[in-house]
Amino acid sequence: MRNLQGKIVLITGASRGIGAATARAFAREGARVVLSARNREALEAVAQAIREETGRETLVLPADVSREEDLRDLVRDTLQAWGRLDVVVANAGVYVQAPVRETTREHFQRAFAVNFYGGALLVLEALPHLLSQGEGHIVLVTSMDAKKGIPPDGPYVAAKAALSLWGDVLRQELRGTGVGVSIVFPGRVDTDMVAHLRVPWISAKMPPEKVARAIVRAVKKRRAEVIVPWQARLFWWAQVFSPSLADAIVRWFRLSGWPAIGTERDTHSEEGAS
Ligand SMILES: NC(=O)c1ccc[n+]([C@@H]2O[C@H](COP(=O)([O-])OP(=O)(O)OC[C@H]3O[C@@H](n4cnc5c(N)ncnc54)[C@H](OP(=O)(O)O)[C@@H]3O)[C@@H](O)[C@H]2O)c1
């Protein structure tokens, strides 16, 4: 999908952070974006900014991705309004951290409801339409945490790893249908999600626009997987070569991060997004 002019791109988690930046990046390419998240007011603000910058039409469709009926309505309303759907970016996410010894079923449920089911069930809703068009693209925004687990992110890591490996199967099963799949693995990104955390220079937070550009490139070049920033690939190679070495890197560089001054977040059980 080299030319995105006029394509319909549906993005979840578009009210801020990576999703909002991705919506702007697609609109700059000439795409018409459908903005979804729970907060209508924030979505309207993103839509307004896009209209002012690009003059492009946008559609605001609030939805909670942890609710199956919302996902159904989201795809149906997009098709009703614009008649087709070309790209689905499953980006909405929550950061559920919990040390293993304090983890409960509720932590897993919260992490999976948004990060796994919110992405996978959205894809299942959109898939029949993409297949009947014989063309389309699906982007799953997971995390470097799905390549190497970082303590105490257990519930989040589990959900992101589930989504990324499910996406691996999805891409293979869709081969030859005209529908492509890209899985995007960002390192630390400077958004609300990790505002409570300070991180070492080696995993410095990148601007969300950098991830947005990587997502657009992935769609245009039909990339199977994208790790961003590229330096994170070195870390992943260390993990493939020796998980014990990668464990040591996590400890040496304090990749788990530490609380940012002025934040009193209890990292034991809270979501990063608030
Ligand atoms: N920031 C990082 O360091 C980082 C690193 C790797 C991967 N990621 C992934 O990148 C994606 C975007 O994260 P971000 O950094 O941009 O975080 P963010 O600024 O906290 O944004 C999260 C987005 O997800 C939406 N969202 C949360 N729960 C939702 C729900 N139940 N239904 C619908 N929308 C929901 C939020 O909107 P509402 O609150 O309005 O619903 C918001 O638009 C996530 O999947 C995240 O896991 C982030």
Q: How far apart are the first and last CA of the chain?
A: 35
Q: What CATH number does the domain containing 58 carry?
A: 3.40.50.720
Rounded percentage of the chain residues whose pLDDT exceeds 70: 95
* Structural domain contains residue 20: yes
* Structural domain contains residue 172: yes
The more confidently predicted of residues 268 and 157 is 157
Q: Is 193 in the pocket of ligand 1 (CB under 6 A)?
A: yes
Q: Distance between CA 223 and CA 173 in Å, rounded?
A: 16
97-118: pLDDT as tens digits? 999 999 999 999 999 999 999 9
Output the pTM of the full model. 0.96
User: Is the pLDDT score of 264 beyond 70?
Assistant: no
Q: Is 171 in the pocket of ligand 1 (CB under 6 A)?
A: no
Q: At what angle do helices 154-173 and 118-133 cross, to 10 degrees?
A: 10
* Structural domain contains residue 271: no
210-222: pLDDT as tens digits? 999 999 999 999 9
* Structural domain contains residue 268: no
**130: confidence class by pLDDT, cuts 50, 70, 90:** very high
pLDDT at residue 268, rounded to an integer: 38
Q: Distance between CA 123 and CA 160 in Å, rounded?
A: 15
Q: Residue 262 is encoded by which pair of tokens?
A: 């002025």
Q: Of all atoms in ligand 1, which is nearest to the CA of residue 208?
A: 16
* Structural domain contains residue 3: no
* Structural domain contains residue 17: yes
179-202: pLDDT as tens digits? 999 999 999 999 999 999 999 999
Residues 6+ apart with CB under 8 A from 91: 11, 12, 13, 14, 18, 19, 22, 139, 141
* Structural domain contains residue 194: yes
* Structural domain contains residue 215: yes
Number of domains in the chain: 1
Q: Distance between CA 91 and CA 242 in Å, rounded?
A: 30
Domain assignment of residue 49, given as a range: 8-259
User: Is the pLDDT score of 271 beyond 60?
Assistant: no
Q: Is 37 in the pocket of ligand 1 (CB under 6 A)?
A: yes
